[in-house]
Chain A
Amino acid sequence: MSTIPPTQAQQNAWKKSPDSELYINPLPVRIWHWLNAVGFVALILTGIQIRYANMFNVLSFETAIKTHNWVAFTVIANYFVWLGFYLFSDRITVYHPELNPRKFFDKAFKQFMYYSYGIFKGEPSPHKVLAYDKFNPMQSITYQIVMLLVVPVQFITGIMMWDIKRFEGPIAMLGGIHTVDTVHVLIFIFFVSFTLVHAYMGALGHTPSAHFKEMFTGYEEAEEKSDQ
């Protein structure tokens, strides 16, 4: 028995369904990402206002602190949206599609070479974006370090500074409030360049807006284009 091939309309409908391989950013991920993005920018800006009140006078110190605290708690709560989604869904594979270190580093090198040279020659990305294999190895390792190490440390140091008296003991264990603040500021400094580079790399899709669009719609656009 020969099967009837799907019509173009059927193919398009399937591509736009949540079961599609091109549905790479489910709703919780999109909510988390954009709330996180707005939160990070707000935290960086209020952080600069707090630290350099003598240079910028957009908010009073008191308002900057209160805004920073409220935004920070929203970002922390939002972190658990991300963590919960990946822990309790099968999408966790996007970070580790296959646990093979040799393959991983081999792919990471190829990806690096692509960003360094191939991209300018118009070569296709060595990594094919799929629903369960979303990240290239460079993204995967970077996002895991950021989300599982850097961001939690930033949250913890921030919470300690939010209520120094309550966390007196842990602060002393970490070497005092000056140390805790220094770690918090170092991570803030890292996020300044990370955010800028992250936004730039978001524009390195097949069109400058492709990745931004997919983070709003949830669907990978590249595949659709290549089919056309």
Chain B
Amino acid sequence: MVRSLIGGSPVNIPVVVSALVFCMLFSTILYPSPVAEISAEPVTTQDSPADIPVDVGADHLAILKKNTKCLKCHKKKKFKQLESGEQLSLQVSREDFIGSAHGEIGCTSCHEAIGNRKHPSKKTNITINSQRDYSVEMSQSCRLCHNENYTQYQSSIHASMVAQGSTEAPVCADCHSAHAVETMADYKPETGLPCKNCHENLYNAYAESVHGEARSNGNVIRDTHIQAPICADCHQAHEVNPLAIGDTLRSTCIGCHENVILLHNQWLPNAGTHLDIVSCAVCHAPFAKHKFDLHLYDNISQLPVSLQEGDEAIQQQLRVMEEAGGSVVDTLKTWRAKQGDDEQGQNSDISIRGRMEVMSGIAAHQIASKGFALRTCDSCHQDDPRKNQNVTLSVTKADGRRESFEANRDVLKSVTAVNSISDFYALGGNPNKLLDMLLLVSLAIGIAIPIGHFTIGEMIKENIERGEQ
């Protein structure tokens, strides 16, 4: 028996020990440690492309133990001086990491270089040029598990821009975060994140559109439950592409609005052609400004031609066209000449095609509900100088982005357009000036012949009558 120091009453040691053990066990239940949270059963990580079951048995506990070691130091505010002069934060939030989709994965799974040798020190320093370079380099480690997504990303406009040296285009960690990687279950697409971080204007336009409003109203349009699209539904999550190029936009819209062709066929003459060459937003974003957008098209590969590095002559031609109101036809000639050179005299089949587009990407996201859609033909089929409708020549740049150069509107009305822009013509929208003149001549002939013939006849008759008298 031991006497209590305070009360002096005797203490039963076995009872105290039992109570302490009970308290410890109870506190473990109430406040489990991160390690205790992990199930002993093998689990599959979400979005794990390899779908490799992560054994959280003894090995996994060892991994977590190692992670704990890493996180112990990296919870401190530490920085690494980079070659660029930037400072790379080495701090990793323990809570963020453990709560992330990667919380059950060993740090060295991604930081392989550190795992295979001693931890870098001042002696064995790792040289890193810049934060950007490090992010790009570390993206390779994502590939180890997420190969499918990584491959999709490689064909995205983001990857093209990175390859062309863009410091703005996102790599994996820019969207998913380096250490606080969200699980799919936690991901809330309606926030517009991560796209909104860079494309805020576009997201705001989307948020006010029929799609955005439906999302915020619980996916309800006109009392009907509809799964309204969010960024990735149209643009893809990893294979992100600008929809303005090729037929992507059309097929994306029709992907959900399956009966679009049928509905347009009921009232719109040449509905199929309209759906091919008029961007959906031209009519369905009723307040957007429109433009005739021309692009150079390779009839052999059946793709819009894209500007490559070394296409200086064409770039120069495009700048001249924009600044001095030069001709689109000159650009086509330059391009054809270049193609001829490239293909050692082989005939290239490049032509100019046209589309009706909205003036900006923001307008392309301002889709209104069906009741507000334009059903008037005038905006494209009326040659109204007051509207001053723009004409642009767009090219896809080497990084996959689209650049538009302003062209002279009269290019669509010139005689040469019959040959150079043979696949695009908006009836009444851009009438050929020479044909207008010929119509006047024809009308004049139609009036002059009867009047002339009649007048000459009367004069001859008069002369004959005078002669007889």
Interface residues of A (CB under 8 A from B): 50-54, 60-62, 65-66, 69, 115, 117, 119-121, 161-165, 175-179, 181-182, 185-186, 188-190, 192-197, 200
B427 near A50: Cβ-Cβ < 8 Å: yes
| Residue contacts A-B, CB under 8 angstroms, 27 given | A50-B428, A51-B428, A54-B382, A54-B384, A54-B385, A61-B376, A65-B427, A119-B457, A120-B456, A120-B457, A120-B461, A164-B272, A165-B272, A165-B273, A176-B351, A177-B425, A182-B435, A189-B435, A189-B438, A189-B439, A192-B439, A192-B442, A192-B446, A193-B445, A193-B449, A196-B450, A197-B446
Whether B443 sits at the interface, judged by CB under 8 Å, is yes
B428 near A177: Cβ-Cβ < 8 Å: no
Q: Identify the closest chain B residue to A163 (Cβ).
A: B270
Taking each of A61, A178, A185, which has the highest tally of chain B beta carbons within 10 Å of its own beta carbon? A178
* Alpha-carbon separation in the docked complex, A164 to B322 (Å): 32
Interface residues of B (CB under 8 A from A): 269-270, 272-273, 276, 351, 376-378, 381-385, 417-419, 421-425, 427-428, 431-432, 435, 438-439, 442-443, 445-447, 449-450, 453-454, 456-457, 460-461, 464
* Alpha-carbon separation in the docked complex, A164 to B432 (Å): 20
Q: Identify the closest chain A residue to B431 (Cβ).
A: A51
Given contacts A185-B432, A195-B446, contact A61 B425 (CB under 8 A): no
* Alpha-carbon separation in the docked complex, A119 to B382 (Å): 46
Which one of A115, A178, A190, A192 lies within 8 Å of B425 (CB-CB)? A178
* Alpha-carbon separation in the docked complex, A163 to B424 (Å): 15
A192 near B443: Cβ-Cβ < 8 Å: yes
Chain A contact residues: helix, strand, loop or mixed: helix
Given contacts A120-B457, A190-B442, contact A53 B435 (CB under 8 A): no
* Alpha-carbon separation in the docked complex, A178 to B351 (Å): 13
CB distance from A154 to the nearest CB of B (A): 14
Extra contacts besides A54-B385, A177-B422 (15): CB < 8 Å: A51-B431, A53-B383, A53-B428, A60-B377, A61-B382, A65-B377, A69-B269, A121-B461, A161-B270, A161-B427, A178-B421, A181-B427, A188-B439, A189-B438, A197-B445
* Alpha-carbon separation in the docked complex, A176 to B378 (Å): 23
List the 3 shortest-distance A-B pairs measured between CB atoms, nearest first.
A176-B422, A196-B446, A200-B450
A121 near B460: Cβ-Cβ < 8 Å: yes
Given contacts A52-B428, A117-B460, A120-B460, contact A196 B447 (CB under 8 A): yes
- Which B residues lie within 8 Å of A182 (CB)? 418, 432, 435
- Which A residues lie within 8 Å of B423 (CB)? 176-178
- Which B residues lie within 8 Å of A190 (CB)? 442
B450 near A197: Cβ-Cβ < 8 Å: yes
* Alpha-carbon separation in the docked complex, A148 to B376 (Å): 38
Chain B contact residues: helix, strand, loop or mixed: helix
* Alpha-carbon separation in the docked complex, A53 to B419 (Å): 25
A186 near B435: Cβ-Cβ < 8 Å: yes
CB distance from A93 to the nearest CB of B (A): 30
Given contacts A54-B383, A196-B450, A197-B450, contact A177 B460 (CB under 8 A): no
* Alpha-carbon separation in the docked complex, A51 to B65 (Å): 79
* Alpha-carbon separation in the docked complex, A61 to B379 (Å): 11
Q: Identify the closest chain B residue to A177 (Cβ).
A: B425
- Which A residues lie within 8 Å of B424 (CB)? 177-178
Taking each of B377, B422, B423, B464, which has the highest tally of chain A beta carbons within 10 Å of its own beta carbon? B422
A164 near B270: Cβ-Cβ < 8 Å: yes
Given contacts A52-B428, A54-B384, A178-B425, contact A62 B377 (CB under 8 A): yes
- Which A residues lie within 8 Å of B383 (CB)? 52-54
Q: Identify the closest chain B residue to A121 (Cβ).
A: B464
* Alpha-carbon separation in the docked complex, A197 to B442 (Å): 11
Given contacts A54-B382, A193-B443, A196-B446, contact A66 B273 (CB under 8 A): no
- Which B residues lie within 8 Å of A115 (CB)? 453
Given contacts A165-B270, A192-B443, contact A179 B422 (CB under 8 A): yes
CB distance from A103 to the nearest CB of B (A): 26
Q: Identify the closest chain B residue to A164 (Cβ).
A: B273
* Alpha-carbon separation in the docked complex, A32 to B220 (Å): 58
Which one of A52, A69, A179, A193 lies within 8 Å of B442 (CB-CB)? A193
* Alpha-carbon separation in the docked complex, A153 to B340 (Å): 35
* Alpha-carbon separation in the docked complex, A2 to B425 (Å): 76
A53 near B378: Cβ-Cβ < 8 Å: yes
* Alpha-carbon separation in the docked complex, A108 to B432 (Å): 37
- Which B residues lie within 8 Å of A186 (CB)? 435, 438
CB distance from B314 to the nearest CB of A (A): 23
CB distance from A120 to the nearest CB of B (A): 4
* Alpha-carbon separation in the docked complex, A115 to B377 (Å): 47
- Which A residues lie within 8 Å of B384 (CB)? 54
Given contacts A119-B457, A193-B446, A196-B450, contact A175 B272 (CB under 8 A): no
Which one of B377, B425, B446, B449 lies within 8 Å of A181 (CB-CB)? B425
A61 near B428: Cβ-Cβ < 8 Å: yes
